[in-house]
Amino acid sequence: MKITTAKLKSLFRKETFRKYLHKIISLDISTKIIAQSLTLGIFIGTLIPIGLQTIVIIPLNLLFRCKLILSYPATMISNPLTALPLYYITFVIGEKATGIEITWESFRKIIDSPSIESIINLGSHGLLVYFVGGLTQAIIYSILTYVLTYKIVVMYRNKHNRNPETGVLNSPSL
């Protein structure tokens, strides 16, 4: 399947977003599980380098009883389009928190090839900067994701005559 510019743009349309939001919110699973699953995906997508996310998300889904169908796509917060800003923020936060400076040349190597190998090549100081910055970012994004997801799901379910906690359609009152 060839990805065209038109197909890529269609993913970011308001209608497409609403369609997928409706599918997620309409699932007959608890609001807590939906929020928890998306939060886990965002956390892993922010903290774990591209290339290791799938290996990490599957066992964590089992451990935390999340839905892989929700958490796995959320790991895509880090992708070739978002790698530059996410990694840049990660290293800025990590540098400030640790006091260790990463050279622009080292950072550029990671951007040219966003993978675990390029991060490992930074050495122990670079790994420390990456994980401190990534963990800080992951915690912030995860808290926001959980709170916003939970509130949006409850609001939507209330508006569409669904039980806000389970997602099951409410029976019409006689």
Per-residue pLDDT tens digits for 7-44: 656 666 778 778 887 888 788 899 999 999 999 999 99
Query: 158-174 pLDDT, tens per residue?
Result: 888 888 888 788 876 65
Q: Does residue 2 lie within any of the structural domains?
A: no
Asked whether residue 106 is assigned to any structural domain, the reply reads yes
In a domain, 8, yes or no: no
Domain that holds residue 35: 14-159
Residue 172: inside a domain, yes or no? no
Residue 165 is assigned to a structural domain of this protein? no
Among the listed residues 85, 81, 75, the one whose alpha carbon sits nearest the alpha carbon of residue 49:
75
Which residues fall within 8 angstroms of residue 108, CB to CB, at 6 or more apart? none
- Count of domains forming the chain: 1
Q: What are the pLDDT digits (tens) for 103-132? A: 888 888 888 887 778 888 888 998 999 999
> pTM for the whole thing?
0.84
Measured CA to CA, the distance from residue 108 to residue 89 in angstroms comes to 14
Whether 113 is covered by a domain: the verdict is: yes
